[in-house]
Amino acid sequence: MKRYEDPAFQTRMRLRIDYNNMMALQLGDRGIADAELDALAPRLAAAAEALEANRSQMRWRDLPHNQNQIVEEIEKTAADIRLRCENFVVLGIGGSALGPIAVQQALSHLRYNDLPNEKRRGPRLFVIDNVDPESMAALLDVIDVQKTVFNVITKSGGTSETMSQLLIVSDILHRIYGEDISGHLIAITDEVRGNLIKIARLEQLTTFYVPDGVGGRFSELCPVGLLTAAVCGIDIRELLAGAAYMDEWCRERDVRKNPAYLLATLAYIAMQRGCNINVLMPYADSLKYISDWFAQLWAESLGKRVHRDGSPAHTGQTPVKALGVTDQHSQVQLYTEGPFDKVITFLGVDRYRTEVPIPKGYSHLPDVSFLCGHSLNELIQAEQRATEYAVMKSGHLSHTITLPEVNPFTIGELLYMFEVMTAFAGELLNINAFDQPGVEEGKNATYALLGKPGYDEKRAELAAQPERAPQYIIG
Ligand code: PA5
């Protein structure tokens, strides 16, 4: 039996949500009263009903359960890549990059790329999620292309940033290998739509698909995230098992017992009170990029101009990424003494994967030597508790999600919980959490500016913009 199949392991790895510091009992007037939560009960029940009724349209909810065959194929491809290359480079942006980065940071060695080859579980990983020319040039300076496999990922199959990266890489590959570049480039995209699938067929690339109904920011648990994770030696079956466990837990209709519904409800109440900033503050470097992944999920899903019926909405909560303890020395002053416009989610860990004692020394300096005999583990956890306390004492809303350990199972739980939480918040806000019309506008304007056929009207719209007034430009 795999450990993730063992009910005792699953129970030990269950996430913990402590929302005392959101509630009036702890926070006084600024907190949420139980009566306020209870009064929302019919609304919450209706939202839970709607989410379950629409479950079949949310194909990302099937991912923990329906990928046995695809996981086998991914593992086979990953094993081959691990054998024959030194570098694995992901080309993608948004949902096609943030998940792979977050999971790699969470579940691989924190200096993974710097480890000597024999100590690494797979090739070095680089994710290029921007079109900064200096980053592309820098990448090409540090990799040997002949010892590299590239993985281009785009759900839509047409995102300009990713397509330009692909054009650069495929040009280099064709110069080296001639016509057949199929051994050096893998595609992940929609099976039918977009241009990447056409290119993949033309170049006869190994291709994995983003299932229909799985949007970019909900795609980490499909091949988009699984291939990179498997290449880097992460147990993707355990990752999916963690997500499946959370899916089961998220079937609970009682909002106070369902972690995703509960967190979404608390965020919703906070938004109604004008707390339109959502800070995610992990106390673990391994979880640092979970905040980046979550920022896209929360911002793009909930930041909407209209309700489902077309009436004005302008909803959303601005996600802020913070890192404990680093940002205690940067942002916590604002969190304790600044405006009452935010909710802080602390992300803690019970057992870090290593223990680092603080040795004895400088005993003549009591202000230093009080640390001796403790460990960095005790220190980081004490600082988390102290910051939670300071934030609570200042009357600001916060809660804590704790991972018993950081491992594939708990990361699967966490990602899936955040996804359901986002969907439930969308339901409460009565908006479409699964589109991104604001992003599309920018994409279309870029196409128009760069002369993509079919965008003449947008080009004319941009050209009709008033000239930039020189009196408002300095320098
Ligand atoms: O959530 C989304 O769908 C978007 O943010 C996408 O992830 C992002 O725009 C990249 O799109 P694509 O994967 O189609 O290149």
- For 399-412, the pLDDT digits (tens) are 999 999 999 999 99
184 is catalytic: no
3-state secondary structure of 91: strand
Closest residue by Cα to atom 6, ligand 1, is 216
3-state secondary structure of 374: coil
Q: How high is the pLDDT of residue 154?
A: 97
3-state secondary structure of 441: helix
Mean pLDDT of 308-327: 97
Task: Determine the atom of ligand 1 nearest the C-alpha atom of 218.
Answer: 1
Residues with CB under 6 A from ligand 1: 93-96, 154-156, 159, 162, 215-217, 300, 436, 439
CA 220 distance to own-chain centroid:
8
What CA–CA distance (Å, rounded) separates 424 from 253? 12
Q: How high is the pLDDT of residue 336?
A: 96
What is residue 358's DSSP assignment?
-
Asked whether residue 264 carries a pLDDT value surpassing 90, the answer given is: yes
User: Residue 440 corresponds to which tokens in the numbers above?
Assistant: 């599309």
From residue 171, give the alpha-carbon distance in Å to each of 167, 175, 197, 232. Answer: 6, 6, 18, 26
Q: How high is the pLDDT of residue 465?
A: 87
Q: How high is the pLDDT of residue 158?
A: 87
Task: Determine the atom of ligand 1 nearest the C-alpha atom of 92.
Answer: 15
What CA–CA distance (Å, rounded) separates 255 from 30? 21
314 is catalytic: no
153 CA distance to ligand 1 middle (Å): 10
What CA–CA distance (Å, rounded) separates 258 from 255? 5
396 CA distance to ligand 1 middle (Å): 34
The two most distant CA atoms of the chain are separated, in Å, by 75
3-state secondary structure of 345: strand
Which residues fall within 8 angstroms of residue 375, CB to CB, at 6 or more apart? 355, 356, 357, 358
344 CA distance to ligand 1 middle (Å): 27
Asked whether residue 94 carries a pLDDT value surpassing 90, the answer given is: yes
Asked whether residue 467 carries a pLDDT value surpassing 90, the answer given is: no
Closest residue by Cα to atom 5, ligand 1, is 94
User: Residue 302 corresponds to which tokens in the numbers above?
Assistant: 């909930």
Closest residue by Cα to atom 2, ligand 1, is 216
Mean pLDDT of 174-203: 97
CA within 13 Å, CB half, 407: 21
3-state secondary structure 183-214: CCEEEEECCCCCCHHHHHHHHCCEEEECCCCC
Q: How many CB atoms are closer than 10 A to CB 458?
A: 17
Q: Give 248's pLDDT tier (boundaries 50, 70, 90).
A: very high
Put simply, whether the predicted model's pTM sits higher than 0.85 gets the answer yes
Which residues fall within 8 angstroms of residue 244, CB to CB, at 6 or more apart? 64, 65, 412
359 CA distance to ligand 1 middle (Å): 48
What CA–CA distance (Å, rounded) separates 247 from 249? 5
Do 247 and 417 form a contact (C-beta atoms < 8 A)?
Answer: no
3-state secondary structure of 451: coil
Asked whether residue 376 carries a pLDDT value surpassing 90, the answer given is: yes
- List beta partners, residue 321: 280
Query: How much of the chain, in percent, has pLDDT values that exceed 70?
Result: 100
At residue 296's C-alpha, the angle toward residues 451 and 163, to 5°, is: 30
Catalytic residue among 203, 220, 300, 413: 300
What is residue 386's DSSP assignment?
H
Asked whether residue 439 carries a pLDDT value surpassing 90, the answer given is: no
Q: How high is the pLDDT of residue 468?
A: 86
Closest residue by Cα to atom 15, ligand 1, is 154
300 is catalytic: yes
Which of 380, 395, 276 shows the shortest CA–CA distance to 327?
380
Catalytic residue among 118, 134, 179, 329: 329
Task: Determine the atom of ligand 1 nearest the C-alpha atom of 443.
Answer: 9
318 CA distance to ligand 1 middle (Å): 19
47 CA distance to ligand 1 middle (Å): 26
> How deeply is 192 buried, as exposed, middle or buried, from its count of CB atoms within 10 A (0-12, 13-18, 19+)?
exposed
Do 348 and 339 form a contact (C-beta atoms < 8 A)?
Answer: no
Do 344 and 396 form a contact (C-beta atoms < 8 A)?
Answer: yes
At residue 313's C-alpha, the angle toward residues 308 and 318, to 5°, is: 115
Asked whether residue 161 carries a pLDDT value surpassing 90, the answer given is: yes
Catalytic residue among 109, 307, 443, 458: 443
Strands 16-18, 397-403: pairing is: antiparallel
Task: Determine the atom of ligand 1 nearest the C-alpha atom of 95.
Answer: 7
- List beta partners, residue 398: 344
Q: How high is the pLDDT of residue 443?
A: 83
**H-state helical runs in 21-67:** 24-27, 34-39, 41-53
Do 426 and 432 form a contact (C-beta atoms < 8 A)?
Answer: yes
Q: How high is the pLDDT of residue 106?
A: 98
Q: How high is the pLDDT of residue 200?
A: 98
Asked whether residue 342 carries a pLDDT value surpassing 90, the answer given is: yes
